[in-house]
Amino acid sequence: MLQINNLAGTRGERLLFKNLSFAVNGGELLLIKGRNGAGKTSLLRLICGLATPETGEILWDGESIANIRSEYFRSLVFVGHDNGVNLDLTVQENLHFHQAIKGNPSAHSIPEVLERLGISRYLKVPCRFLSAGQKRRVALGRLAISDARLWLLDEPFTSLDERALDAVKNLIIQHLDQGRLCLATSHQTIDWRDSKVNQIRLGEVS
């Protein structure tokens, strides 16, 4: 469903990786590994359409994402390094905004999702008063409030405690069980139970 062909990534003038090809099918989780600076974040930014590749192509259901941008953006949720959480808005306002601009709300309501992530108490609290881990959970809450087939996660487990980590892990497993796709960069070793997990390792190009 997601097909990467001969992709090259650069940062400034420096080549990070080239001739990268892989495919991710429904129900699969792809873990992107590599040392710091290997280009994991750059790869995710290419796949989520923020950056345009200099060479290579990214296909979604067989179509180049450059041609079906709007449709592609509707089917993905991206959680990057930055949370995308505004500090002056409440948790609810933040999530509500993200749900509205995505335009495809899922069956789960915002309070329900927050409940699962263990922050339902903070629904009406401005995000300024939340801890780093709580803000991260708000950001990850975006995953479940929209009905998206592709999740792109950049270090999703940063600053999460064990319970939150478990909750997010369960969210991902449930997502995969529905036959959907997930790409993540992560340093943690996590037991993904019987989900189908692939790995690629960046930083080994000559």
Partner 1 sequence: MTRAFGALLKRDLTLVARTPGDYTTPVIFFVVCTTLFSFVAGKDIAVLKSIGPGVIWVSALLASMLSLEGLFRSDYEDGTLEQILTAPAPLPLMVLAKAFAHWISAGVPLLLISPILGILMNLDSHSTTILVVTIAISTPTFSLIGIFGAALVISQKKAGMLLSLLTLPLCVPILIFSVSAVSAAADQLPISGHLMLLGAFFVFTLTLSPFGTAGALRIMLSN
Partner 2 sequence: MWLWFHKLSTARHFYALATRLTPWLGWLTGLTIALGLYLGLVVAPIDYQQKDAYRIMFVHVPSAWMSMMIYTMMAVSGAIGLIWRIKLAHVACTAAATIGASFTLITLVTGSIWGKPMWGAWWAWDARLTSELILLFLYLGFIALESAIPDRTKGQKAGAILLLAGVVNIPIIHYSVLWWHTLHQTASVSKFGIPSIHISMLTPLLVMTVGFMLLFLTILALRMRAMILETEYQSKWLRQLEESG
Instruction: Give the binding site for partner 1 (CB under 8 A).
Output: 11-12, 42, 45, 48-52, 70-71, 73-74, 76, 78, 80-89, 93, 96-98, 100-104, 142
Q: Among residues 15 and 87, whose Cβ is nearest to partner 2?
A: 15
Which contacts of 46-49 are long-range, i.e. CB under 8 A and separated by 24 or more positions?
Answer: 46/7, 46/9, 47/2, 47/4, 47/152, 47/183, 48/76, 48/78, 48/152, 49/73
Q: Among residues 101 and 107, whose Cβ is nearest to partner 1?
A: 101
What would the x/- binding string for partner 2 be over residues 79 to 98, using CB under 8 A?
--------------------
**Interstrand relation of 181-185 and 28-33 (parallel, antiparallel or unpaired):** parallel
Closest CA to 165 of 133, 139, 120: 133
Residue from 50, 54, 97, 129 binding partner 2 (CB under 8 A): 54
Element (H, E) at 197: strand 196-201
* Partner that binds at residue 54, options partner 2, partner 1, none, CB closer than 5 to 8 Å by kind: partner 2
Q: How far is the CB of 12 from partner 2 (least distance, A)?
A: 5
Q: Among residues 68 and 197, whose Cβ is nearest to partner 1?
A: 68
Q: How far is the CB of 122 from partner 2 (least distance, A)?
A: 37
Q: Among residues 12 and 62, whose Cβ is nearest to partner 2?
A: 12
12 binds partner 2 (CB under 8 A): yes
For residue 62, which amino acid is it?
G
Four-residue CA torsion sign, 189, 190, 194, 199:
negative
Q: Among residues 51 and 190, whose Cβ is nearest to partner 2?
A: 51
- Rounded distance between C-alpha atoms, residue 147 and residue 75, angstroms: 7
* Partner that binds at residue 50, options partner 1, partner 2, none, CB closer than 5 to 8 Å by kind: partner 1
Go through 69-88 and write b for each residue having 16 or more CB atoms within 10 A of its CB, e for each that does not.
eeebbbbbbbbbeebebeee
Number of residues in contact with partner 2, rule: CB under 8 A? 3
62 binds partner 2 (CB under 8 A): no
Please give the biggest Cα pair distance in the chain. 51
DSSP-based three-state secondary structure for 186? coil
Q: Which residues bind to partner 2, rule: CB under 8 A?
A: 12-13, 54
